[in-house]
Amino acid sequence: MAKEVLIAFIQSNIPVSGSALTNIIDQFAERLIKKNEFFLKEGTVSNDYFFLETGCMRAFTHDPDGNEVTTYFYAKNKYVFEVSSLFMRTVSTENIQALTDCAGYSITFETLNKLFHASPEFREFGRMMLVKAFAAFKQRTLELINKSAEERYENLMTTDRDVFQYAQLKHIASYLGITDTSLSRIRRESTKK
């Protein structure tokens, strides 16, 4: 079984090897998600944690007026999960959809919990996932406050070029907290340079 990338990912987060590691990765199942397919649909309870090896995905919800708001982009070699719904077992207000054909490894909530209780190493891994996702989110929030839309756009361009390539501009716009009109103008300005 070719799970090298998953193994590398886990080991980049926590020190673990040998049978402890084997135990962990055996619980992950290969999974393909076709372009436009939903990994999570609002109104349902999320039941999977997913390591995305190739492809990219987008999370979005709807604001009170019914407009789509992109809440996150997931690039390859990243973990994909909706914290509240997965861990609090609540009905999700978010969707997570594949922007391209995706491949990776998934594990169910139940198996995740079994592993948490059985393996201190994996427990540490689980906590790291939460903590890192949280830290990334804080970073993003801070940017919303103290960077201009243009700076946020340029940041995204450089750090997430691949995601950027597959997402529609209106999705990127709502992720940046602006309208597609404004994004279009920002792009015009920044290509001038």
Partner DNA sequence: TTGATTTCTTGCCATTTGGCAAGCATCCTG
Partner DNA sequence: CAGGATGCTTGCCAAATGGCAAGAAATCAA
Residue 5 Cβ, how far from DNA at the closest point, in Å?
28
> Is 116 an interacting residue with respect to its own copies (CB under 8 A)?
yes
Instruction: Choose among its own copies, DNA, none what residue 186 binds, the Cβ cut-off being 5 to 8 Å by kind.
Output: DNA
**Judged by CB, which is closer to its own copies: 38, or 134?**
134
Among 54, 90, 181, 190, binds DNA (CB under 7 A): 181
Q: Three-class SS string for the chain?
A: CCCHHHHHHHHHHCCCCHHHHHHHHCCCEEEEECCCCEEECCCCECCEEEEEEECCEEEEEECCCCCEEEEEEECCCEEECCHHHHHHCCECCCEEEECCCEEEEEEEHHHHHHHHHHCHHHHHHHHHHHHHHHHHHHHHHHHHHHCCHHHHHHHHHHHCHHHHHHCCHHHHHHHHCCCHHHHHHHHHHHHHC
Q: Which is nearer to DNA, 101 or 150 (CB)?
A: 150
Of 91, 130, 157, 169, the one binding its own copies by CB under 8 A: 130
Binding of its own copies at residue 34 (CB under 8 A)?
no
Taking CB under 8 A as the criterion, the residue among 22, 67, 148, 181 binding its own copies is 67
Name which of its own copies, DNA, none residue 114 binds, using a CB cut-off of 5 to 8 Å depending on partner kind.
Answer: none
- Give 123 or 185: the residue with its C-beta nearer to DNA: 185
Binding site for DNA (CB under 7 A): 148-150, 168-170, 177-188
